Structure 1
Amino acid sequence: MRAGNRTLVERSEAPDPRWGEVDGYIRDKLLGDDAILTATLAANAAGGLPDIDVSPAQGRMLHLLARMARARRILEIGTLGGYSTIELARALPDGGSLVTLELDPHHVAVARENIAQAGLMERVEVLVGPAAATLAMLDGPFDFVFIDADKPSNVTYLREALRLTRPGATIVVDNVVREGKLLDDASDDPRVTGTRALFDAVAAEPRLTATVVQTVGVKKWDGFLLAVVTG
Protein backbone atom coordinates (compact mmCIF):
# COMPACT_ATOMS: atom_id res chain seq x y z
CA MET A 1 0.00 0.00 0.00
CA ARG A 2 1.08 3.57 -0.49
CA ALA A 3 0.92 6.66 1.61
CA GLY A 4 4.15 8.55 1.11
CA ASN A 5 5.43 7.82 -2.40
CA ARG A 6 4.54 5.39 -5.17
CA THR A 7 6.86 2.50 -4.34
CA LEU A 8 5.04 -0.83 -4.58
CA VAL A 9 5.74 -4.26 -3.15
CA GLU A 10 7.69 -6.40 -5.59
CA ARG A 11 6.98 -10.13 -5.96
CA SER A 12 9.96 -11.74 -7.67
CA GLU A 13 9.95 -15.38 -6.54
CA ALA A 14 7.49 -18.02 -7.73
CA PRO A 15 5.34 -19.14 -4.79
CA ASP A 16 4.92 -22.71 -3.65
CA PRO A 17 1.37 -23.59 -4.82
CA ARG A 18 0.67 -25.13 -1.40
CA TRP A 19 0.88 -21.68 0.19
CA GLY A 20 -2.18 -20.54 -1.69
CA GLU A 21 -3.94 -23.84 -1.09
CA VAL A 22 -3.44 -23.48 2.66
CA ASP A 23 -4.75 -19.91 2.50
CA GLY A 24 -7.82 -21.28 0.75
CA TYR A 25 -8.27 -23.91 3.46
CA ILE A 26 -8.00 -21.23 6.16
CA ARG A 27 -10.55 -19.09 4.33
CA ASP A 28 -13.00 -21.94 3.89
CA LYS A 29 -12.70 -23.29 7.43
CA LEU A 30 -12.29 -20.15 9.53
CA LEU A 31 -13.16 -17.01 7.60
CA GLY A 32 -16.17 -17.87 5.46
CA ASP A 33 -17.65 -15.70 2.75
CA ASP A 34 -17.67 -11.96 3.31
CA ALA A 35 -19.64 -10.10 0.66
CA ILE A 36 -18.31 -6.69 1.72
CA LEU A 37 -14.65 -7.67 1.53
CA THR A 38 -15.18 -9.52 -1.75
CA ALA A 39 -16.88 -6.44 -3.19
CA THR A 40 -14.02 -4.28 -1.91
CA LEU A 41 -11.44 -6.32 -3.80
CA ALA A 42 -13.63 -6.24 -6.92
CA ALA A 43 -13.97 -2.46 -6.69
CA ASN A 44 -10.22 -2.10 -6.22
CA ALA A 45 -9.57 -4.19 -9.33
CA ALA A 46 -12.17 -2.27 -11.33
CA GLY A 47 -10.55 0.96 -10.22
CA GLY A 48 -7.13 -0.16 -11.41
CA LEU A 49 -5.57 -0.30 -7.95
CA PRO A 50 -2.53 -2.58 -7.55
CA ASP A 51 -3.18 -6.03 -6.08
CA ILE A 52 -1.19 -5.45 -2.89
CA ASP A 53 -3.90 -5.70 -0.24
CA VAL A 54 -3.27 -7.97 2.72
CA SER A 55 -4.66 -11.46 2.23
CA PRO A 56 -7.99 -12.45 3.83
CA ALA A 57 -6.19 -14.40 6.55
CA GLN A 58 -3.87 -11.46 7.22
CA GLY A 59 -6.78 -9.04 7.29
CA ARG A 60 -8.52 -11.18 9.89
CA MET A 61 -5.27 -11.32 11.88
CA LEU A 62 -5.16 -7.52 11.97
CA HIS A 63 -8.79 -7.45 13.08
CA LEU A 64 -8.05 -9.87 15.92
CA LEU A 65 -4.89 -8.04 17.00
CA ALA A 66 -6.85 -4.79 17.25
CA ARG A 67 -9.53 -6.51 19.30
CA MET A 68 -6.92 -8.13 21.56
CA ALA A 69 -5.40 -4.69 22.10
CA ARG A 70 -8.89 -3.37 22.96
CA ALA A 71 -8.16 -0.51 20.61
CA ARG A 72 -10.57 2.40 20.65
CA ARG A 73 -8.51 4.62 18.36
CA ILE A 74 -6.62 3.16 15.39
CA LEU A 75 -4.15 4.76 12.98
CA GLU A 76 -3.46 3.17 9.59
CA ILE A 77 -0.67 4.43 7.33
CA GLY A 78 -1.44 3.25 3.79
CA THR A 79 -5.12 2.88 2.85
CA LEU A 80 -5.03 1.67 -0.76
CA GLY A 81 -8.68 0.63 -1.38
CA GLY A 82 -9.65 0.18 2.23
CA TYR A 83 -9.54 -3.63 2.61
CA SER A 84 -7.45 -3.65 5.79
CA THR A 85 -9.21 -0.46 6.89
CA ILE A 86 -12.53 -2.30 6.93
CA GLU A 87 -11.14 -5.22 8.91
CA LEU A 88 -9.58 -2.86 11.47
CA ALA A 89 -12.66 -0.62 11.73
CA ARG A 90 -14.84 -3.65 12.38
CA ALA A 91 -12.70 -4.37 15.45
CA LEU A 92 -13.58 -1.05 17.06
CA PRO A 93 -16.10 -0.86 19.90
CA ASP A 94 -18.99 1.59 19.89
CA GLY A 95 -17.55 5.09 19.92
CA GLY A 96 -14.21 3.96 18.48
CA SER A 97 -12.54 5.65 15.53
CA LEU A 98 -9.93 5.01 12.84
CA VAL A 99 -7.78 7.48 10.90
CA THR A 100 -6.21 6.16 7.68
CA LEU A 101 -3.69 7.96 5.45
CA GLU A 102 -3.26 7.62 1.68
CA LEU A 103 -1.25 9.58 -0.88
CA ASP A 104 -3.20 8.86 -4.07
CA PRO A 105 -6.51 10.78 -4.46
CA HIS A 106 -7.93 8.10 -6.75
CA HIS A 107 -7.20 5.41 -4.16
CA VAL A 108 -8.87 7.60 -1.54
CA ALA A 109 -12.01 7.89 -3.66
CA VAL A 110 -12.20 4.11 -4.12
CA ALA A 111 -11.51 3.51 -0.44
CA ARG A 112 -14.15 5.94 0.74
CA GLU A 113 -16.77 4.25 -1.44
CA ASN A 114 -15.74 0.82 -0.15
CA ILE A 115 -15.84 1.99 3.45
CA ALA A 116 -19.25 3.57 2.89
CA GLN A 117 -20.56 0.33 1.37
CA ALA A 118 -19.32 -1.44 4.52
CA GLY A 119 -21.33 0.98 6.65
CA LEU A 120 -18.25 2.25 8.47
CA MET A 121 -17.86 5.89 7.41
CA GLU A 122 -18.98 7.13 10.83
CA ARG A 123 -15.95 5.37 12.35
CA VAL A 124 -13.36 6.09 9.66
CA GLU A 125 -11.61 9.27 8.52
CA VAL A 126 -9.60 8.94 5.29
CA LEU A 127 -6.94 11.64 4.89
CA VAL A 128 -5.22 12.29 1.56
CA GLY A 129 -1.65 13.53 1.11
CA PRO A 130 1.95 12.56 1.90
CA ALA A 131 1.78 10.57 5.12
CA ALA A 132 4.77 12.22 6.80
CA ALA A 133 3.15 15.63 6.43
CA THR A 134 -0.27 14.39 7.52
CA LEU A 135 1.15 12.58 10.56
CA ALA A 136 2.80 15.77 11.75
CA MET A 137 -0.66 17.36 12.03
CA LEU A 138 -2.24 14.53 14.05
CA ASP A 139 -2.66 14.30 17.79
CA GLY A 140 -2.62 11.11 19.81
CA PRO A 141 -2.94 8.93 21.57
CA PHE A 142 -3.76 5.98 19.33
CA ASP A 143 -4.05 2.48 20.75
CA PHE A 144 -3.10 0.59 17.59
CA VAL A 145 -1.03 1.57 14.53
CA PHE A 146 -0.79 -0.38 11.29
CA ILE A 147 2.01 0.71 8.93
CA ASP A 148 1.70 -0.57 5.36
CA ALA A 149 3.03 2.19 3.14
CA ASP A 150 6.20 3.14 1.28
CA LYS A 151 9.11 1.23 2.82
CA PRO A 152 11.82 3.93 2.52
CA SER A 153 9.78 5.99 5.01
CA ASN A 154 9.35 3.19 7.58
CA VAL A 155 11.61 4.83 10.17
CA THR A 156 9.75 8.14 9.85
CA TYR A 157 6.45 6.35 10.29
CA LEU A 158 7.77 4.44 13.31
CA ARG A 159 8.92 7.65 14.99
CA GLU A 160 5.56 9.27 14.37
CA ALA A 161 3.78 6.16 15.64
CA LEU A 162 5.77 6.39 18.87
CA ARG A 163 4.88 10.07 19.22
CA LEU A 164 1.20 9.31 18.68
CA THR A 165 0.82 6.28 20.96
CA ARG A 166 0.82 5.53 24.67
CA PRO A 167 2.45 2.78 26.75
CA GLY A 168 0.64 -0.46 25.99
CA ALA A 169 -0.18 0.48 22.41
CA THR A 170 0.41 -1.96 19.54
CA ILE A 171 2.37 -1.17 16.36
CA VAL A 172 2.25 -3.55 13.35
CA VAL A 173 4.37 -3.10 10.20
CA ASP A 174 3.77 -5.13 7.03
CA ASN A 175 6.22 -6.37 4.35
CA VAL A 176 9.31 -6.62 6.55
CA VAL A 177 10.80 -9.88 5.19
CA ARG A 178 10.51 -9.14 1.47
CA GLU A 179 11.10 -12.68 0.22
CA GLY A 180 14.33 -12.84 2.24
CA LYS A 181 15.80 -9.71 0.66
CA LEU A 182 15.95 -8.31 4.18
CA LEU A 183 19.22 -10.23 4.59
CA ASP A 184 20.98 -8.44 1.74
CA ASP A 185 23.14 -5.82 3.44
CA ALA A 186 24.55 -4.77 0.05
CA SER A 187 21.14 -4.07 -1.52
CA ASP A 188 20.57 -0.67 -3.08
CA ASP A 189 16.81 -1.26 -3.30
CA PRO A 190 15.24 1.51 -1.17
CA ARG A 191 12.50 -0.89 -0.06
CA VAL A 192 15.14 -3.21 1.39
CA THR A 193 17.32 -0.48 2.88
CA GLY A 194 14.23 1.15 4.36
CA THR A 195 13.19 -2.14 5.95
CA ARG A 196 16.66 -2.82 7.33
CA ALA A 197 16.70 0.70 8.76
CA LEU A 198 13.36 -0.07 10.44
CA PHE A 199 14.89 -3.11 12.16
CA ASP A 200 17.82 -0.99 13.36
CA ALA A 201 15.47 1.68 14.68
CA VAL A 202 13.29 -0.82 16.52
CA ALA A 203 16.33 -2.59 17.97
CA ALA A 204 17.67 0.72 19.28
CA GLU A 205 14.35 1.87 20.74
CA PRO A 206 14.04 1.06 24.48
CA ARG A 207 10.33 1.87 24.43
CA LEU A 208 9.51 -1.09 22.16
CA THR A 209 9.30 -4.84 22.70
CA ALA A 210 9.12 -6.43 19.26
CA THR A 211 9.36 -9.51 17.10
CA VAL A 212 8.68 -10.50 13.49
CA VAL A 213 6.39 -13.27 12.27
CA GLN A 214 7.27 -14.58 8.81
CA THR A 215 4.31 -15.36 6.55
CA VAL A 216 3.71 -17.38 3.40
CA GLY A 217 0.52 -17.60 1.38
CA VAL A 218 -1.14 -15.98 -1.60
CA LYS A 219 1.02 -12.92 -0.92
CA LYS A 220 4.15 -15.10 -1.12
CA TRP A 221 6.92 -14.92 1.49
CA ASP A 222 6.92 -11.89 3.74
CA GLY A 223 6.28 -10.98 7.34
CA PHE A 224 4.84 -8.62 9.96
CA LEU A 225 6.74 -6.76 12.65
CA LEU A 226 4.75 -6.74 15.89
CA ALA A 227 5.64 -4.34 18.67
CA VAL A 228 4.23 -3.13 21.96
CA VAL A 229 5.06 0.31 23.33
CA THR A 230 6.42 -0.32 26.83
CA GLY A 231 7.39 3.16 27.92
Structure 2
Amino acid sequence: MRKLNEMMDRPVIDKAVRDYLRTKQRQLTGPLGAIENEANKKRVPVIPHETVRFLEWFLPLYKPVNILEIGTAIGFSAGLMAQFLPDEGQITTIERNPTMIEKAEKNFKKMKNSNKISLIKGQAEEVLQELDESYDFIFMDSAKAKYYDFFPHCMRVLKVGGVIAIDDVLQGGTILQETENIPRSRKKIHKKLNQFLEVVLNHPALNATILPLGDGLLMITKEEDADFSFMLKKRTDQHDDPKA
Protein backbone atom coordinates (compact mmCIF):
# COMPACT_ATOMS: atom_id res chain seq x y z
CA MET A 1 0.00 0.00 0.00
CA ARG A 2 1.44 3.35 -0.98
CA LYS A 3 2.03 5.88 1.78
CA LEU A 4 -0.49 8.62 2.30
CA ASN A 5 0.44 11.93 0.75
CA GLU A 6 1.17 14.52 3.44
CA MET A 7 0.31 17.25 0.92
CA MET A 8 -3.37 16.28 1.27
CA ASP A 9 -3.33 18.44 4.39
CA ARG A 10 -1.56 21.45 2.83
CA PRO A 11 -4.10 23.37 0.72
CA VAL A 12 -2.66 25.78 -1.81
CA ILE A 13 -5.70 28.05 -1.47
CA ASP A 14 -7.64 29.24 1.56
CA LYS A 15 -8.90 26.15 3.43
CA ALA A 16 -12.44 27.47 3.74
CA VAL A 17 -12.59 28.09 0.00
CA ARG A 18 -11.18 24.65 -0.70
CA ASP A 19 -13.76 23.01 1.56
CA TYR A 20 -16.52 24.97 -0.16
CA LEU A 21 -15.36 23.73 -3.56
CA ARG A 22 -15.36 20.16 -2.30
CA THR A 23 -18.73 20.18 -0.56
CA LYS A 24 -20.97 22.65 -2.40
CA GLN A 25 -20.35 21.57 -5.97
CA ARG A 26 -22.34 18.72 -7.52
CA GLN A 27 -21.46 15.39 -5.93
CA LEU A 28 -20.91 12.07 -7.67
CA THR A 29 -23.48 9.29 -7.44
CA GLY A 30 -23.47 5.57 -8.19
CA PRO A 31 -20.30 3.42 -8.13
CA LEU A 32 -17.96 6.39 -8.66
CA GLY A 33 -19.55 8.31 -5.79
CA ALA A 34 -19.15 5.29 -3.52
CA ILE A 35 -15.51 4.86 -4.52
CA GLU A 36 -14.79 8.55 -3.93
CA ASN A 37 -16.49 8.53 -0.52
CA GLU A 38 -14.63 5.41 0.60
CA ALA A 39 -11.30 6.82 -0.59
CA ASN A 40 -11.89 10.05 1.31
CA LYS A 41 -12.85 8.20 4.50
CA LYS A 42 -9.76 5.99 4.30
CA ARG A 43 -7.56 8.90 3.16
CA VAL A 44 -6.57 7.15 -0.04
CA PRO A 45 -5.06 9.86 -2.29
CA VAL A 46 -7.43 10.19 -5.25
CA ILE A 47 -8.03 13.40 -7.19
CA PRO A 48 -9.96 15.86 -5.00
CA HIS A 49 -13.52 16.83 -5.78
CA GLU A 50 -12.66 20.24 -7.22
CA THR A 51 -10.51 18.44 -9.81
CA VAL A 52 -13.31 15.95 -10.41
CA ARG A 53 -15.67 18.82 -11.22
CA PHE A 54 -13.09 20.45 -13.49
CA LEU A 55 -12.66 17.24 -15.50
CA GLU A 56 -16.44 16.79 -15.67
CA TRP A 57 -16.59 20.29 -17.19
CA PHE A 58 -13.49 20.06 -19.40
CA LEU A 59 -13.74 16.62 -21.01
CA PRO A 60 -17.20 17.07 -22.63
CA LEU A 61 -15.87 20.27 -24.23
CA TYR A 62 -12.57 18.79 -25.35
CA LYS A 63 -14.06 15.44 -26.49
CA PRO A 64 -10.96 13.19 -26.40
CA VAL A 65 -11.16 9.75 -28.02
CA ASN A 66 -7.92 8.16 -26.79
CA ILE A 67 -6.74 8.90 -23.25
CA LEU A 68 -3.52 7.83 -21.54
CA GLU A 69 -3.35 7.85 -17.74
CA ILE A 70 -0.09 7.46 -15.84
CA GLY A 71 -0.89 6.34 -12.30
CA THR A 72 -4.07 4.27 -12.05
CA ALA A 73 -4.15 4.07 -8.23
CA ILE A 74 -7.56 2.58 -7.28
CA GLY A 75 -9.05 3.31 -10.71
CA PHE A 76 -11.18 6.27 -9.67
CA SER A 77 -9.94 8.86 -12.17
CA ALA A 78 -9.93 6.36 -15.06
CA GLY A 79 -13.54 5.50 -14.30
CA LEU A 80 -14.42 9.17 -14.12
CA MET A 81 -12.82 10.01 -17.47
CA ALA A 82 -14.27 6.96 -19.21
CA GLN A 83 -17.76 8.43 -18.76
CA PHE A 84 -16.96 11.11 -21.33
CA LEU A 85 -15.55 8.90 -24.08
CA PRO A 86 -17.46 8.17 -27.28
CA ASP A 87 -18.39 4.57 -28.09
CA GLU A 88 -15.06 4.02 -29.86
CA GLY A 89 -13.05 5.77 -27.11
CA GLN A 90 -10.46 4.06 -24.94
CA ILE A 91 -8.39 4.80 -21.82
CA THR A 92 -5.00 3.17 -21.36
CA THR A 93 -3.88 3.44 -17.73
CA ILE A 94 -0.53 2.41 -16.22
CA GLU A 95 0.13 1.24 -12.65
CA ARG A 96 3.06 -0.52 -10.99
CA ASN A 97 1.77 -1.07 -7.44
CA PRO A 98 0.26 -4.59 -7.02
CA THR A 99 -2.08 -3.46 -4.21
CA MET A 100 -3.38 -0.57 -6.29
CA ILE A 101 -3.78 -2.83 -9.33
CA GLU A 102 -5.91 -5.27 -7.31
CA LYS A 103 -8.12 -2.45 -6.00
CA ALA A 104 -8.43 -0.87 -9.45
CA GLU A 105 -9.48 -4.13 -11.08
CA LYS A 106 -12.17 -4.62 -8.43
CA ASN A 107 -13.42 -1.06 -8.92
CA PHE A 108 -13.48 -1.39 -12.70
CA LYS A 109 -15.84 -4.35 -12.34
CA LYS A 110 -18.30 -2.06 -10.54
CA MET A 111 -18.37 0.41 -13.45
CA LYS A 112 -20.55 0.15 -16.53
CA ASN A 113 -17.82 1.61 -18.73
CA SER A 114 -14.97 -0.72 -17.76
CA ASN A 115 -14.83 -2.05 -21.35
CA LYS A 116 -13.29 1.31 -22.28
CA ILE A 117 -10.42 0.94 -19.79
CA SER A 118 -7.21 -1.02 -20.46
CA LEU A 119 -4.87 -1.43 -17.49
CA ILE A 120 -1.17 -1.97 -18.20
CA LYS A 121 0.79 -3.35 -15.25
CA GLY A 122 4.40 -2.21 -14.98
CA GLN A 123 6.88 0.59 -14.48
CA ALA A 124 5.58 3.67 -16.27
CA GLU A 125 8.92 4.68 -17.76
CA GLU A 126 9.35 1.25 -19.35
CA VAL A 127 5.76 1.07 -20.59
CA LEU A 128 5.88 4.60 -22.03
CA GLN A 129 8.92 3.76 -24.12
CA GLU A 130 7.02 0.90 -25.77
CA LEU A 131 3.78 2.72 -26.56
CA ASP A 132 3.11 3.29 -30.25
CA GLU A 133 -0.43 4.72 -30.03
CA SER A 134 -1.20 8.42 -30.17
CA TYR A 135 -3.40 10.16 -27.60
CA ASP A 136 -5.64 13.21 -27.47
CA PHE A 137 -5.41 13.62 -23.70
CA ILE A 138 -2.92 12.44 -21.08
CA PHE A 139 -3.54 12.55 -17.34
CA MET A 140 -0.41 12.11 -15.22
CA ASP A 141 -0.75 11.55 -11.48
CA SER A 142 2.21 9.40 -10.52
CA ALA A 143 5.66 9.71 -8.94
CA LYS A 144 6.28 13.45 -8.78
CA ALA A 145 10.05 13.06 -9.02
CA LYS A 146 9.49 11.22 -12.32
CA TYR A 147 7.41 13.84 -14.10
CA TYR A 148 10.57 15.26 -15.66
CA ASP A 149 11.63 11.84 -16.97
CA PHE A 150 8.17 10.77 -18.16
CA PHE A 151 7.44 14.00 -20.03
CA PRO A 152 9.51 13.38 -23.21
CA HIS A 153 7.74 10.05 -23.70
CA CYS A 154 4.37 11.73 -23.19
CA MET A 155 5.20 14.37 -25.78
CA ARG A 156 6.12 11.64 -28.27
CA VAL A 157 2.69 9.98 -28.06
CA LEU A 158 0.58 13.12 -27.55
CA LYS A 159 -1.00 14.46 -30.74
CA VAL A 160 -0.28 18.01 -31.85
CA GLY A 161 -3.15 20.00 -30.36
CA GLY A 162 -3.46 17.43 -27.58
CA VAL A 163 -3.59 18.25 -23.89
CA ILE A 164 -1.73 16.80 -20.92
CA ALA A 165 -2.94 17.41 -17.37
CA ILE A 166 -0.36 16.87 -14.62
CA ASP A 167 -1.54 16.70 -11.02
CA ASP A 168 0.04 17.82 -7.73
CA VAL A 169 2.74 20.13 -9.07
CA LEU A 170 2.72 22.68 -6.23
CA GLN A 171 3.49 20.34 -3.33
CA GLY A 172 1.42 22.29 -0.84
CA GLY A 173 3.21 25.47 -1.91
CA THR A 174 6.62 24.11 -0.87
CA ILE A 175 7.69 24.25 -4.51
CA LEU A 176 8.47 27.94 -3.82
CA GLN A 177 10.87 27.26 -0.96
CA GLU A 178 14.64 27.11 -1.18
CA THR A 179 16.04 23.60 -1.50
CA GLU A 180 17.94 23.86 1.80
CA ASN A 181 14.63 24.35 3.63
CA ILE A 182 13.10 21.15 2.23
CA PRO A 183 13.27 17.94 4.32
CA ARG A 184 15.85 15.51 3.01
CA SER A 185 13.20 12.90 2.16
CA ARG A 186 11.54 15.33 -0.29
CA LYS A 187 14.56 17.10 -1.76
CA LYS A 188 14.55 15.03 -4.95
CA ILE A 189 10.87 15.70 -5.61
CA HIS A 190 11.42 19.42 -4.97
CA LYS A 191 14.43 19.57 -7.29
CA LYS A 192 12.92 17.56 -10.14
CA LEU A 193 9.56 19.36 -10.05
CA ASN A 194 11.29 22.73 -10.22
CA GLN A 195 13.42 21.52 -13.14
CA PHE A 196 10.29 20.24 -14.84
CA LEU A 197 8.32 23.47 -14.40
CA GLU A 198 11.26 25.53 -15.58
CA VAL A 199 11.19 23.62 -18.89
CA VAL A 200 7.47 23.43 -19.60
CA LEU A 201 6.05 26.76 -18.41
CA ASN A 202 7.86 28.81 -21.06
CA HIS A 203 8.65 26.31 -23.83
CA PRO A 204 7.74 27.75 -27.27
CA ALA A 205 6.07 24.51 -28.42
CA LEU A 206 3.77 24.40 -25.40
CA ASN A 207 0.95 26.48 -23.97
CA ALA A 208 0.87 25.85 -20.21
CA THR A 209 -1.03 27.09 -17.18
CA ILE A 210 -1.27 26.00 -13.55
CA LEU A 211 -4.73 25.86 -11.98
CA PRO A 212 -5.03 26.07 -8.16
CA LEU A 213 -7.07 22.86 -7.99
CA GLY A 214 -6.09 20.27 -5.39
CA ASP A 215 -2.33 20.53 -5.04
CA GLY A 216 -1.93 22.30 -8.36
CA LEU A 217 -3.11 21.02 -11.76
CA LEU A 218 -0.78 21.82 -14.67
CA MET A 219 -2.54 21.97 -18.04
CA ILE A 220 -0.40 21.89 -21.19
CA THR A 221 -1.37 22.02 -24.86
CA LYS A 222 1.14 20.61 -27.33
CA GLU A 223 1.04 23.27 -30.03
CA GLU A 224 3.74 21.78 -32.24
CA ASP A 225 6.17 18.88 -32.31
CA ALA A 226 9.40 19.46 -30.41
CA ASP A 227 12.37 17.41 -29.27
CA PHE A 228 12.36 16.89 -25.50
CA SER A 229 14.95 14.11 -25.50
CA PHE A 230 17.39 16.39 -23.63
CA MET A 231 15.26 15.74 -20.54
CA LEU A 232 16.09 12.03 -20.67
CA LYS A 233 19.78 12.73 -20.08
CA LYS A 234 19.32 14.19 -16.62
CA ARG A 235 19.35 11.71 -13.76
CA THR A 236 19.73 12.20 -10.03
CA ASP A 237 19.67 9.65 -7.21
CA GLN A 238 17.47 6.54 -7.17
CA HIS A 239 15.25 7.60 -4.26
CA ASP A 240 11.70 7.86 -5.62
CA ASP A 241 8.40 9.36 -4.65
CA PRO A 242 6.28 6.65 -2.95
CA LYS A 243 3.26 7.58 -5.08
CA ALA A 244 3.48 5.61 -8.32
TM-score normalised by structure 1 residue count: 0.84
1:41 aligns with 2:39: no
Amino acid at match of 1:9: N
Deviation of the 1:35 alpha carbon:
1.9
Amino acid at match of 2:36: L
Aligned equivalents of 2:100, 2:155: Cα separation in 1: 26
Aligned-pair Cα RMSD in Å? 2.4
SS of equivalent residue, structure 1 residue 51: coil
What does residue 20 of structure 1 align with? 19
Of all paired residues, the percent bearing the same amino acid is: 24
What does residue 207 of structure 2 align with? 209
Aligned equivalents of 2:98, 2:137: Cα separation in 1: 25
Greater shift, 32-41 or 205-214, is seen at: 32-41
CA contact (8 A) 1:151 1:190 kept: no
Identify if the C-alpha distance between structure 1 residues 8 and 77 changes in structure 2 by more than 3 Å, giving closer, same or farther. farther
CA deviation profile, 1:13-37 (whole Å, cap 9, x unmatched): 56665232442111xxxx2441211
Amino acid at match of 1:199: L
Greater shift, 177-186 or 196-205, is seen at: 196-205
CA deviation profile, 1:80-116 (whole Å, cap 9, x unmatched): 0011111111111110000001111221121122122
SS of equivalent residue, structure 2 residue 114: coil
Identify if the C-alpha distance between structure 1 residues 24 and 202 changes in structure 2 by more than 3 Å, giving closer, same or farther. same
SS of equivalent residue, structure 1 residue 228: strand
1:104 aligns with 2:100: no
Greater shift, 51-60 or 146-155, is seen at: 51-60
Identify if the C-alpha distance between structure 1 residues 35 and 13 changes in structure 2 by more than 3 Å, giving closer, same or farther. closer
Query: Please, which runs of 5 or more residues in structure 2 have no aligned partner?
Result: 225-244
SS of equivalent residue, structure 1 residue 122: helix
Aligned equivalents of 1:139, 1:132: Cα separation in 2: 14
1:85 aligns with 2:45: no
CA contact (8 A) 2:21 2:49 kept: no
Aligned equivalents of 1:137, 1:72: Cα separation in 2: 20
Aligned equivalents of 1:112, 1:13: Cα separation in 2: 28
Deviation of the 1:173 alpha carbon:
0.4
TM-score normalised by structure 2 residue count: 0.79
Amino acid at match of 1:23: R
SS of equivalent residue, structure 1 residue 92: coil
Query: Please, which runs of 5 or more residues in structure 1 have no aligned partner?
Result: none
Deviation of the 1:45 alpha carbon:
7.6
What does 1:52-91 correspond to in 2, within 5 Å? 52-91=45-84
Match of 2:113 among 110, 120, 123: 120
Identify if the C-alpha distance between structure 1 residues 44 and 23 changes in structure 2 by more than 3 Å, giving closer, same or farther. closer
What does residue 133 of structure 1 align with? 126
1:10 aligns with 2:9: no
CA contact (8 A) 2:10 2:172 kept: no
Aligned equivalents of 1:45, 1:33: Cα separation in 2: 13
Aligned residues: 216
Identify if the C-alpha distance between structure 1 residues 96 and 193 changes in structure 2 by more than 3 Å, giving closer, same or farther. same
Greater shift, 185-194 or 117-126, is seen at: 185-194
SS of equivalent residue, structure 2 residue 216: strand
SS of equivalent residue, structure 1 residue 40: helix
Deviation of the 1:207 alpha carbon:
1.9
Amino acid at match of 1:64: W
SS of equivalent residue, structure 2 residue 161: strand
Identify if the C-alpha distance between structure 1 residues 225 and 9 changes in structure 2 by more than 3 Å, giving closer, same or farther. same
CA contact (8 A) 1:37 1:83 kept: yes
Identify if the C-alpha distance between structure 1 residues 20 and 204 changes in structure 2 by more than 3 Å, giving closer, same or farther. closer
Deviation of the 1:7 alpha carbon:
7.1
Amino acid at match of 1:24: T
Deviation of the 1:177 alpha carbon:
1.1
